[in-house]
Amino acid sequence: MRQRVARVAVVAVLVALALLAVPLALVIRASFFADERGELERAALSAAVRVSPDFATGDPVELAPGHFEGDLGIYDPALRRRAGTGPALGDAVTGRAASGTVAQRDGDGELVVAVPVSSAEHVIGVVRASTSTASVWKRVLTAWGALLAVALAAFGIALLPARRQARALAAPLEALARTSQSVTDGDLTARAGACGIGEIDQVALNHNAMVDRLAQLLRHEREFTANASHQLRTPLTGLQLGLEAALATPGADLRSAVEEALAESHHLNETIDEVLSLAKDATRSGPGAPAQPVAALLERAELRWHGPFAMDGRRLRLGLDRAVAGAATPRRTTDQILDILLDNAHRHGRGSVEVTLRDLGEAIAIDVTDEGSLSLPPSVIFERGTSTGPGQGIGLALAAELAESTGGRLSVTGTEPTRFTLLLPRTAE
């Protein structure tokens, strides 16, 4: 990535230098040749001044000594050299100047300027000045070399910020690639940081939002799997034990066993629906949500949990205030919460377990109390993964989520003995 960005910057610099240097080189060449023609013309004009009107009658001309390095000659109208240096006979340039105009030629390795000398409106001679183009090209090449050196220096200077800019652009993209690779390797906590480049920061923001959404979906999937396994394990075990006991007992009432199994299977089906509803962020507290009297709630709980507690030599007591026995609560959701609290008391509590009902006016309080003690702080007891025994710490966290889905609240209201209190809004029957 860095090499590609640097390559683009280098190409851009080279194109810019070429667009600047090539026209400048052409201008330098034209300027040097124009300057040299100007020098030749000035030398020729200086020599023409020394030609007297008597030149046509044979008056000799003496050229002043100077620093002119080329050939400087004076020709008569017949194009014969009369003084100075140059070809003995004038060339085509000299002939054009003899017609009364300044003539120039650049070719055959020579730069020539011819100036006519007039007297009384007649051309009496021609001054021809010439020099080798090699000397001009030498100065042009020297200037081009200096231009090339400046261009190379500019390229070198421009290369440093180009490389720095390449690093500045490539570093956040490389960091984003590493973050994406970490996510691919399973690290859903990896997040891309900001770099100050708006477009790349937007890509990083979208990437982080995608990872957050992916992590949320995976968390919901894992929680659903854990919730389902937690809620289905105990009822399935009870169903299997009931059927096995009926088959193993001679003369047992199989119809009664089948009816109990059907009731358990209905409860399992409701449990699955409730866990699915929670996984989809649906609630059961809105209009049309199934409701039941709290008396029926406690009776159903006693029917399911009296046997497991009795098998362990423990008592399950239900305290029902008849004044609020007809108060309605969300049916399946409250059943699930009460099952979790009773299962928690069965697994982690001690002694007798008491379920009591209290009327709080706009709400109903259900207390589940056992004779054990709570060793964990109440502030962490509902965090997923928190457990005081061999369990996975799913039940109480799920119960708290279910309580919130009904608009209620689950809290710890006692540690010695342990007491959990479920607050539920009244629901129309």
pLDDT in tens, 240-276: 767 777 777 777 677 777 777 777 777 677 667 766 7
pLDDT at 282: 44
| Among the four given CATH numbers 3.40.50.2300, 1.10.645.10, 3.30.450.20, 3.40.50.12280, the one describing domain 2-151 | 3.30.450.20
CATH architecture of structural domain 285-425: 2-Layer Sandwich (3.30)
Q: Which pLDDT score, from 0 to 100, does residue 102 have?
A: 92
CA distance 189 to 384: 18
Please, are residues 113 and 104 in contact by the beta-carbon 8 Å criterion?
yes
The topology under which CATH files domain 191-282 is Helix Hairpins (1.10.287)
Task: Parse the chain into domains and list their residue ranges.
Answer: 2-151, 191-282, 285-425
Mean pLDDT throughout 211-223? Answer: 78
The residue to which tokens 């009870």 are assigned: 238
Question: Does residue 283 register a pLDDT over 70?
Answer: no
- pLDDT, greater one: 387 or 425: 425
- Kindly indicate the confidence band of residue 234, based on its pLDDT and cuts at 50, 70 and 90: low
Residues 6+ apart with CB under 8 A from 72: 43, 44, 47, 63, 84, 85, 86, 127, 128, 129
What pLDDT does residue 228 have? 66
Name the least confident of 25-29, 101-105, 181-185, 393-397.
Answer: 393-397
Tell me, what's the pLDDT at 285? 43
Is residue 294 a contact partner of residue 408, using CB atoms and an 8 Å limit?
Answer: no
Lowest average pLDDT, out of 177-186, 268-277, 377-386, goes to 268-277
Q: What is the pLDDT of residues 12-33, one digit of tens each?
A: 888 888 888 899 999 999 999 9
Q: What is the pLDDT of residue 31?
A: 94
